[in-house]
């Protein structure tokens, strides 16, 4: 099918609805990105109450974002199917071969969703690494504490993690 023939069979109302859903999806991902960035700040500041509240908001927002994503996938499938596109073809690759009118409606929203989704994936990966780092610190400090408690039931040790002989000993403090 040529671009002109493909564009003629495309329901522009469906394309407009898809564009609106893509914009809604972008908004959902922006909210999730803000929450993911907040999560990193909350982890580094050791704000456990804030982390708990943030995690609950993320869970709520994920449900909304998933609903919008499903809606977008259904609409995109309908648009592609009505245009006679291959079942395996993605919206982005299909869009490259469409008329200016169709691309005008969908190019920017598709690019924006992809960009924000990429930023969100990067923020989530950074948070995963930060969480693993924090867990490693907890494990390290727990091992030191166990060793010190076995050697000295009072559990006092100095900055070098050696048993302390004075009243000024304490837990090693490291921040992410």
Q: What is the mean pLDDT of each run of 10 residues along the chain (176 residues)?
A: 47 89 96 96 92 95 95 90 80 85 89 96 96 90 78 61 55 48
| Structural domain range at position 51 | 3-131
Predicted pLDDT at 159: 66
Q: Does residue 166 lie within any of the structural domains?
A: no
Predicted pLDDT at 1: 39
Q: Does residue 100 lie within any of the structural domains?
A: yes
Output the CA torsion 106→112→118→123 (10° steps).
-150
Report whether 148 contacts 161 (CB < 8 A): yes
The encoded tokens of residue 108 equal 């920017």
Total structural domains in the chain?
Answer: 1
Predicted pLDDT at 6: 43
Q: Does residue 151 lie within any of the structural domains?
A: no
Q: Does residue 140 lie within any of the structural domains?
A: no
Predicted pLDDT at 83: 82
3-state DSSP assignment of residue 176: coil
The encoded tokens of residue 41 equal 């700040």
Q: How many angstroms separate the CA atoms of 104 and 86, rounded?
A: 22
Q: Does residue 46 lie within any of the structural domains?
A: yes
Q: Does residue 86 lie within any of the structural domains?
A: yes
Q: Does residue 64 lie within any of the structural domains?
A: yes
Helical packing angle, 12-44 and 48-82, nearest 10° = 160
pTM score of the predicted model: 0.72
Q: Does residue 119 lie within any of the structural domains?
A: yes
């Amino acid at each position: 099918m040529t671009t002109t023939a493909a564009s003629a069979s495309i329901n522009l109302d469906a394309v407009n609805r898809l564009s609106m859903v893509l914009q809604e999806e972008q908004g959902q991902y922006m909210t999730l990105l803000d929450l993911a960035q907040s999560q990193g700040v909350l982890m580094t500041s050791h704000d456990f109450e804030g982390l708990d509240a943030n995690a609950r908001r993320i869970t709520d927002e994920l449900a909304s974002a998933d609903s919008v994503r499903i809606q977008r996938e259904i609409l995109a499938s309908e648009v592609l199917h009505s245009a006679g596109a291959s079942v395996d073809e993605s919206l982005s690759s299909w869009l490259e071969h469409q008329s200016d009118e169709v691309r005008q409606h969908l190019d920017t929203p598709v690019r924006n969703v992809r960009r924000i989704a990429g930023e969100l994936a990067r923020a989530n990966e950074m948070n995963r690494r930060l969480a693993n780092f924090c867990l490693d610190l907890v494990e390290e400090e727990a091992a030191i504490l166990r060793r010190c408690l076995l050697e000295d039931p009072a559990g006092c040790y100095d900055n070098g993690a050696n048993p302390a002989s004075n009243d000024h000993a304490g837990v090693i403090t490291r921040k992410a």
